[in-house]
Amino acid sequence: MNDATAVGAILIAIAVILGFLTISWAVPIRLWIEAMASGVHVGLGSLIGMRLRKVSPPAIVRPMIAATKAGLTLDVNELEAHYLAGGDVARVANALISADKANIDLGFEQAAAIDLAGRDVFEAVQVSVNPKVIQTPKVAAMAKDGIQLIAVARVTVRANINRLVGGAGEETILARVGEGIVSTIGSADSHKAVLENPDKISKTVLAKGLDSGTAFEILSIDIADVDVGKNIGAELQIDQAEADKQIAQAKAEERRALAVATEQEYRARVEEMRAEVIKAEAEVPLALAEAFRGGQLGVMDYMRYRNVEADTRMRDAIAGPVDDKEERD
């Protein structure tokens, strides 16, 4: 009997402890007292409803306490709806407090929309108060005289609260500034003019209204550094000269090949003509025999022909072989 009583007492104690812990979790008494002491009127029923809707009461109540202490009035239902939408209630509340202190017109709906758009609304308010400096990467451009210049610019921007939703970011600002630098240097007649007046780049780029459609307002563009790069014009001329040289060499090689082919063709023609001569010489004895048979050539005529032939061979022997003469030529 005593054992059963002890077990029952233990079970009752465990049940009481679990019940107390459940009530403490479901009814955040401490948070409610903290809110009431800070002047934030939130009922226990609202806190219990937040638990049931899987909303963290501290994530709603503590930003309300901070806003109330700063003199702002926030609606608990709007904060809870923003929390359920996936927003950061604390960041929105801090942004509203900072905007109020800086006399910036920023309502809760606008701040919540900026936060849900994926932008840091608190940082945006800070950048609106304290402008931010963005440094561009090295931008290389070539002036009309062929000299390359490498420029680095610092862009001072201020966040435009009204264009944070749907406005372009810092990457667009940097791209537009880089494009403006390239255009300004490229339109300069000489790189010396740019080096003498680097502020001409910033004035020209700033006058183009590069912040249109972005979430920022460009306050100033300062050229931090301008260095002289390569002589691209000279390199292009060298490359062109090398290309012209290769073209000329190719044409000369083509002409040489054509000349060699022509020479070989002429040699072939010479050999062909020699063959014709030899063929004709081979027909001479036949013609002589035919002339003898036809009575068109007498013995004395033949003897004179032989004498002329012997005389010709003698002259050729004195002059030297024809082949040797051709080789000497």
Residues 7 and 124 occupy one common structural domain: yes
Residues 112 and 147 occupy one common structural domain: no
Whether the CB-CB separation of 69 and 96 falls below 8 Å is answered with no
Give the CATH number, domain containing residue 215. 3.30.479.30
Residue 26: pLDDT above 70?
no
Q: What share of the chain is helix, strand, coil (3-state, %, to 5)?
A: 65, 10, 20
Residues 142 and 109 occupy one common structural domain: no
Whether the CB-CB separation of 164 and 114 falls below 8 Å is answered with yes
Could you tell me the pLDDT band of residue 102, with boundaries at 50, 70 and 90? confident
Residues 14 and 69 occupy one common structural domain: yes
Mean pLDDT of 92-99: 89
Q: Max Cα separation, the chain? A: 176
Residue 124 lies inside a defined structural domain of this protein:
yes
Residues 148 and 196 occupy one common structural domain: yes
- Indicate the pTM of the whole model: 0.55
Whether the CB-CB separation of 223 and 153 falls below 8 Å is answered with yes
Residue 252 lies inside a defined structural domain of this protein:
no
Residue 309 lies inside a defined structural domain of this protein:
no
Residue 241 lies inside a defined structural domain of this protein:
no
Residue type, 14: I
- Rounded Cα–Cα distance for residues 205 and 214 (Å): 16
Mean pLDDT of 299-327: 70
- Rounded Cα–Cα distance for residues 151 and 136 (Å): 9
pLDDT tens by residue, 144-200:
888 888 888 888 888 888 787 777 888 888 888 888 888 888 888 887 887 878 878
- Rounded Cα–Cα distance for residues 190 and 109 (Å): 53
Residue 84 lies inside a defined structural domain of this protein:
yes
Domain count for the chain: 2
Question: What is the reported pLDDT for 311?
Answer: 79
Residue type, 174: L
Residues 185 and 226 occupy one common structural domain: yes
Instruction: Provide φ and ψ at 43, rounded to 5°.
Output: -80, 160
> Residue 180, CB half-sphere, CA atoms under 13 Å: how many?
25
Place of tokens 């002289």: 228
- Rounded Cα–Cα distance for residues 299 and 292 (Å): 9
Residues 114 and 184 occupy one common structural domain: no
Residue 285 lies inside a defined structural domain of this protein:
no
Instruction: Provide φ and ψ at 203, rounded to 5°.
Output: -65, -45
Residues 124 and 173 occupy one common structural domain: no
- Rounded Cα–Cα distance for residues 232 and 221 (Å): 27
Residue that finishes a domain, picked among 78, 108, 129 = 129
Mean pLDDT of 223-232: 80
Whether the CB-CB separation of 116 and 85 falls below 8 Å is answered with yes
Give me the DSSP letters along 69-89.
Answer: HTT----HHHHHHHHHTT--H
Residues 111 and 145 occupy one common structural domain: no
- Rounded Cα–Cα distance for residues 176 and 180 (Å): 6
Residue that finishes a domain, picked among 231, 255, 289 = 231
Residues 218 and 173 occupy one common structural domain: yes
Could you tell me the pLDDT band of residue 13, with boundaries at 50, 70 and 90? low
Question: What is the reported pLDDT for 326?
Answer: 47
Residue that finishes a domain, picked among 174, 209, 231 = 231
Residue 261 lies inside a defined structural domain of this protein:
no
Whether the CB-CB separation of 81 and 108 falls below 8 Å is answered with no
Residues 6 and 103 occupy one common structural domain: yes
Tell me the residue range of the domain where 34 lies.
2-129
Residues 123 and 137 occupy one common structural domain: no
Place of tokens 């490229």: 186
